[in-house]
Amino acid sequence: MLDIVRVPSPGLSEVSRAVAVFDETIRDLATQMIEIMYQSPGCVGLAANQVGRVESLFVLDVSRHKKTTSHHGLLVVVNPTIVNREGQLTMREGCMSVPDLTGDVTRAESLTLIGCDLAGKSLEIESSGFEARAIQHEVDHLGGYLFIDRVSGSSKLHSRKRYL
């Protein structure tokens, strides 16, 4: 079983590598990540580098989160790229890889994401609200960024009282 990688692990700041071969290895990785996500209280998404892997892949499901107003259910996206962002909203975020802090992060309110599914088929996803925020959070991970890198100053960081 894979383990969650936490700060200050250098792997969290590395840029992920594009997936070229869509085989059993990538499907197994996604399956394990989905299991971890669903077994972790408050977790709505995981990027591959959060479990010590270099593949450009994230899993996400915000359907059970109280802030969710619309969603696509379980998303598994390989080689994701955000191609359009609209609006801005600042909200509190947390992360499995930064267990002791939350932070106020400004992100787009809606977006268009392209990528591939586990079979290599192209995807295009329009998302808004909390799901769009979570997608941006996971895509940031794959680019080597944590939410704490997006916080505008130390006054916007907060000690976590409990993990969701």
Per-residue pLDDT tens for 115-160?
A: 999 999 999 999 999 999 999 999 999 999 999 999 987 778 788 7
Question: Model pTM?
Answer: 0.93
Number of independent structural domains in the chain: 1
pLDDT for residue 164: 46
Question: Which residues constitute the domain of residue 41?
Answer: 10-159
Among 141, 140, 136, 138, smallest CA distance to 112 is for 136
Whole-number CA gyration radius for the chain: 15
pLDDT for residue 72: 86
| Dihedral in degrees, nearest 10, Cα atoms 64, 129, 12, 142 | 110
The residues that are catalytic are: 138
Q: Which two tokens stand for residue 29?
A: 């990785």
Q: Is 102 among the domain residues?
A: yes
Q: Residue 55 sits in a domain of what CATH number?
A: 3.90.45.10
Q: How far is CA 130 from the centre of its chain?
A: 12
Least confident segment among 17-31, 66-80, 99-113: 66-80
